[in-house]
């Protein structure tokens, strides 16, 4: 069964600190893995997309890693800001054409001053 599990479920950190969110998946065949940021009451916004051959990808203060062997990904946020408070969703594309999207439940991050 295709599954995407994210941890922790929620996280509170102080402004300026770093944090790492985890995503483990059991999806086959694997096409790509995406990280999205979703503000409350808004649609998700893409942060990164990685194929199996990519180990790391950065987007500003966001850095995603992918280990296709262990089927794990992480999203590292550097020097957190209050505006980073959101839900972070890991999405894995499965299937030969990558047309089956499997969503994680998300990690709710709260950055406080």
Partner 1 sequence: GAVVSQHPSRVICKSGTSVKIECRSLDFQATTMFWYRQFPKQSLMLMATSNEGSKATYEQGVEKDKFLINHASLTLSTLTVTSAHPEDSSFYICSATWRSSYNSPLHFGNGTRLTVT
Binding interface with partner 1 (CB under 8 A)? 31-32, 34, 36, 41-46, 49, 51, 89, 91, 93, 97-99, 101, 103-106, 108
Q: How far is the CB of 5 from partner 1 (least distance, A)?
A: 11
Q: Give the start-end residues of each E strand in 40-85.
A: 45-51, 56-59, 62-67, 72-77
For partner 1, the closer of residues 79 and 105 by Cβ is 105
Per the rule left: phi > 0, alpha: psi between -120 and 50, beta: everything else, 41 is left
Smallest distance, partner 1 to C-beta of residue 16, A: 26
Residue closer to partner 1 (CB basis): 43 or 60? 43
End-to-end CA gap in the chain: 41
The residue whose two tokens read 């499965």 is: 94
Query: Which lies closer to partner 1 via its Cβ, residue 90 or residue 111?
Result: 90
Closer by beta carbon to partner 1, 106 or else 111: 106
Distance of CA 67 to the CA centre of its chain: 13
Least CB distance from residue 93 to partner 1, whole Å? 6
DSSP state of 31: E
């Amino acid at each position: 069964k295709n599954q995407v599990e994210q941890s922790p479920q929620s996280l509170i950190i102080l402004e300026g600190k770093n944090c790492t969110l985890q995503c483990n998946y059991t999806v086959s065949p694997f096409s790509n893995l995406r990280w999205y940021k979703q503000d409350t009451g808004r649609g998700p916004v893409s942060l990164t997309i990685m194929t199996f051959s990519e180990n790391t990808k950065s987007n500003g203060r966001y850095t995603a890693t992918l280990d296709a062997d262990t089927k794990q990904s992480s999203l590292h946020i550097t020097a957190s800001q209050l505006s980073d408070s959101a839900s972070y969703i890991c999405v894995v594309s499965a299937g030969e054409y990558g047309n089956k999207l499997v969503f994680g439940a998300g990690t709710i991050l709260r950055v406080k001053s």
